[in-house]
Structure 1
Amino acid sequence: HLYWLTSQATYKLRVAMEDWQGRQVFAEYDSFQVEPESDWYRLRLGSYQGNAGDSLSWHNNKAFTTLDRDKDAYTGNCAHYQKGGWWYHMCAHSNLNGVWYRGGHYRSRYQDGVYWAEFHGGSYSLKK
């Protein structure tokens, strides 16, 4: 449904995040579109602005990878290692579909939490 929604008009994307200490940040992209299934729901982003750091542009123009549809450039399946579907490249600089670990910093074999690399790194699971 994201393809249909984002094909109707020009949309911005705003990602609002909060850490476990209550600090709130955001990342905004001046355009946001998801391509149709025939193009593997490829992500299209415009320019970044915000105070969270840009952890999503690295995923721009990437197809959406899931456990059963490996479309990333990594030799393994990033959705398996990072526990959720996302627009992976050689895995991720952000993953908002990962495991929600309580308390922030977590220990795991992989960076599989809900994270935004420019805001606390890949081993910190965001609260919101």
Structure 2
Amino acid sequence: LHKITTSEPHELRVDMDDFEGHSAYAEYTEFSIAGADDFYRLLCEGYSGTAGDSMAFQNGMKFSTKDADNDLWDEDCVATYRGAWWHYNCLRSNPNGAYLGGSHTSYGAGIEWKTFTGVYYYSLKSIELKIRPV
């Protein structure tokens, strides 16, 4: 992603569906990923759409994985909420969370886009992240 998104300007589109038949999207006019020397830091700005801007807190964050806790939470977002991502202090967006089939009792562990679902106890049916040159 670093090589692709830094070779020319790119935008990001995120499409999502819940289990009740609702769909939403989020578009970002600026999207790029820094290199390994900067821990794959995220640039994601220029929101528009119907899903709400759940990436606002992730902008500028380093990528966190099971073996690289780069979020700002005292604990580990990836281990706690089951998904590598550009976590700030967890949640709000977590497309790599567990597929929990809609409503669930495991706080924040599902496929999350908080500004669309409005809760932390709901895992989306589907989510797609797509990039393209501007």
TM-score, length-scaled by structure 1: 0.94
Task: Report the equivalent of 1:119.
Answer: 116
Aligned length: 125
Query: Which gives a bigger RCO, structure 1 or 2 (Cα 8 Å, sep 6+)?
Result: 2
Letter in 1 for 2:104: Y
Question: Aligned-pair RMSD on alpha carbons?
Answer: 0.9
Unaligned runs of 5+ in 1: none
Q: Percent identity?
A: 38
TM-score (norm 2): 0.90
Q: Give the Cα separation in 2 of the matches to 1:122 and 1:3.
A: 30
- Cα contact 1:111–1:122 (8 A) shared by 2: yes
Counterpart-to-counterpart distance in 1, 2:14 and 2:43: 15
Structure (1/2) with the larger strand percentage: 2
Q: Does 1:73 align with 2:79?
A: no
Give the deviation of 1:49 after TM superposition: 0.2
Q: Which residue is 1:44 aligned to?
A: 43
> Which sections of structure 2, spanning at least 5 residues, go unmatched?
127-134
* 4+ residue runs over 6 A deviation: none
User: What per-residue deviation string (whole Å, max 9, x for no partner) do you get for residues 51-102 of structure 1?
Assistant: 0011011100000011100111111111000101010111121100000112
Paired position in structure 1 for 2:129: none
